[in-house]
Chain A
Amino acid sequence: MSFFLEVLVGGLLSGVMYSLVALGFVLVYKTSGVLNFAQGAMVLFAALTFVSLTERNVPFAIALALTLVAMIVLGFLIERLVLAPLVNQSPITLFMATLGLSYVIEGAAQLIWGTEVHGLELGIPDTPLHLGVFSVSTFDLVAALIAGTMVLALLVFFRATRTGLAFRAVADDQFAALAVGLRLSTIWTIVWTLAGVVALVAGLLWGARLGVQFSLSTVVLKALPVLVLGGFDSIAGAIVGGLLIGAIEKVAEVYLGPLVGGGIESWIAYVVALLFLLVRPAGLFGQRAVVRA
C-alpha cells in the first residue's frame, strides 16, 4: 500500500510539471481561441536563454530579469508579426501558424545558444523528505508550491483586475469586446507575454529536472492530453488534468506496464484522454460549445 502511495504521489508531483506547461496553453486559448503549439518552444527558449546567461557568469537575478525581458519582446513580436495579420482566420489556420512559429523559435534558440545539453542548478535542494511511510523529493514539493502560487496569482488576476476583466471579455466575445472599445492587440500582447512568463517558470523547473535541451520543447505534447482532460479553457482544469495525467501515467507504468512489455508511458496519457473525451467531449471543466448551423 505504501508503495502504491509513493507511486501515486510521485505521479501527482510530476503532474504538477505538466500543469505548468498546460497553463501557458490555457492562457492563450482562453483569450484568443488559439491552440498555441509554440508554448513548448517558448519553454525551451526561456530555459536556454536563462541557462546560457548564467553560464556566462551573469548573476541569477539579472539573468532572470534579462530572460523576462526576452520573453516580453518575444510575446510582442509574436503578436505584431504573426497574430495581427491573421486576425479573423480559422482556429486551424492559427494553430498551423503556431506550429510554424514553434519551428522558428526552436531553431533560433538553438542557433543562438547552441545545441548541447546544459545542467541547470536553481539552488532548490533535492533531498528525499520522509513523511511517515513514504518519501517525496523536496524539489518536487517546492515546484508544486511555485505552481500553486502561480495559479492563485493568475486566478486573482483574472477575477480582480481590470485587465483580467478585459481578458474575460475578449474570451467571451471578441466582437463585443472590440465594440466596447477594448484594444485587442494590447490584450493579446499581454496574454502572450504572460504565456512567456509561465513558459519561463516551467522551463526553469523542467530544466532543473531534465537538463536544458531540445527535448524540453516536447513537453508540449504531454500538455495536450492534460488540456483535453481538463478542458482547453479552464485554469483549474489545467491543474486537475495535469495531476490526473501524472498520476495515471506513473500508476499505469508501474502496475500495467510489466504486463505488456513496458514503455506504455509514451501513449497511455493519450488513450486515457481519448476514452475520457468519449464520455465528456469538453473535458472536466471546459465550456460546452453550442453548435449552431
Chain B
Amino acid sequence: MTAALRTIAPRQWALIALLVVAFAVVPRLGFDYLFDAILLPVLALGLAGIGLNLLTGYAGQISVGSAAFMAVGAFGAYNFMLRAPGVPVLVSFILAGLIAAAVGIVFGLPSLRLKGFYLLVSTLAAQFFVQWVLTNFHWFANDDPSGVVTAPQIVIAGIDVGTSAGRYVMCLAIVLLLAWAAHRLARSQVGRNWIAIRDNETAAAVIGDSVFRSKLLAFAISSFYCGIAGILWAFAYLRTVESDGFSLDLSFRILFIVIIGGLASIRGAFLGAVLLVTLPLLLTRFGAAVFSSTNSGVIELAEMILVGLLIIVLLIAEPDGLVSLIDRGWKRIIVGRLPRIS
C-alpha cells in the first residue's frame, strides 16, 4: 500500500487534492454568488476555450466563429429536450454536440483550399449565418415571440440539479471529463498530426498525414467542445437560450481566452477564462471603492482597454500565455528551494 502510494508523484497528489476540494468542499460552501457569477461562466468559457484551442492552438486554424457553434449546441439541446422528452438529458447533450460538430465540418470544408486569414471569412460566415438562422426561423426557439426561451429543468438520473451548487457539480464533471479527453487527444497521433499541420502543412502532407482529414477532424472536435460549452453556458449559467447572446463578441472573448491563457495548452483555457470572467467584477469593485463610481459604461470601456493592453503585452512579453508565466514562476520557487548542485 505504501509502495503504491509512493509511486504517485507530488504533482498527482496536488491534482487529487484539487479534485477533492472542487467536488467535495466547494459545493458545500454555499456561496451562490461564487457559483452563479464566477465558477459557472468560467467552466463554460473554459470548455469553449479548450475547443477553440484544439482548432487554433494545436491545428493552427484560426476561428472567430466559436459562439456560433456554442449556439448550435444550446439550441440543439433545447430542441432535443423539447421534442424528444424521453431521451435522457446527457444523451441529448451529446446529440446536440454532434450536431455542432456536423455544422463545424461544413464550415471547415473550405479549409481544404483556404489558409490563414482567408479562413477567417469562413468562420465569420458561420458566425453570422448561424445567428441569422436561429433568429429568423422561430421554430428553433419553439415559436416564442421574444426569441428568448427559459432553459428547461435539468434532471439527471432522477436527481434535479437545479440548484446553483448542483449545476456547478454537473458542469465540473462534464468539463473535467472533456478536458481530460482533450489532454489525451492532444498527445495522441491525432494531436501530433494537428501540430504537424500547424507547424508546416506541406511537410505534414509529405510524411503522410492526411491534411484534409486532420483539419476536418479538428473542426468537428473543436465544434463539439464548443457545442457542449454552449449548452453549459445557456442551461447552467444563463438559464435562458437566446441567439443574441452567442454574438461575435462572445467569439472574440473565447479567442482572447485562448491567447491570454496560452495557445496549445489545456490549463491555459481555464486561466484565461478566470481572468476574463473576474476582470469586470474586480473592475466594478475597484471603481466603486476608489472612484465611488459605478458607471457601468466607463467600467466596460476600461475593461476593453485593459483586455486589449493585456493581449498586446502578453504577445510581446510572453507569447505562450499565462500558462508559461506561471510555469516559470513555479519552477523558480521550486528551484530556489532546492540546494544547488555543483
Contacts and interface: CB of A to CB of B under 8 A. Distances in A.
B308 interface: yes
Interface in A204-230: 221, 224-225, 228
Interface residues of A, number: 47
A287 interface: no
B298 interface: yes
A92 B252 CA distance: 15
A-side interface mostly: helix
Contacts of A3: none
Interface stretch (A42-50, A105-113, A131-139, A183-191): A105-113
A274 interface: yes
Contact of A224 (B121, B201, B252, B298): B121
Given A101-B312, A104-B312, A261-B136, A292 B125 contact: no
Contacts of B248: 221
Contacts of B301: 107-108, 110-111, 115
* Chain A CB within 10 Å, residue with most, of B110, B252, B305: B305
Interface string B300-342: 0111110111111001100100000000000000000000000
A100 B315 contact: yes
Given A99-B252, A111-B302, A35 B117 contact: yes
B312 A266 contact: no
Given A100-B311, A100-B315, A293-B203, A107 B117 contact: no
Interface in B94-143: 110, 113-118, 120-122, 124-125, 128-129, 131-132, 135-137
Contacts of A262: 136
B129 A267 contact: yes
Interface in A257-279: 260-264, 266-267, 270-271, 273-274, 277-278
A167 B310 CA distance: 31
A103 B206 contact: no
Interface in B234-251: 248
B118 to A, nearest CB: 6
Contacts of B303: 107
B297 interface: yes
A115 B301 CA distance: 10
Contacts of B113: 277-278, 281
13 contacts: A86-B315, A86-B316, A92-B116, A95-B117, A97-B315, A99-B255, A100-B312, A107-B308, A221-B248, A264-B132, A270-B128, A293-B200, A293-B202
> Which 4 A/B pairs are nearest by Cβ-Cβ distance?
A103-B308, A100-B311, A107-B304, A270-B125
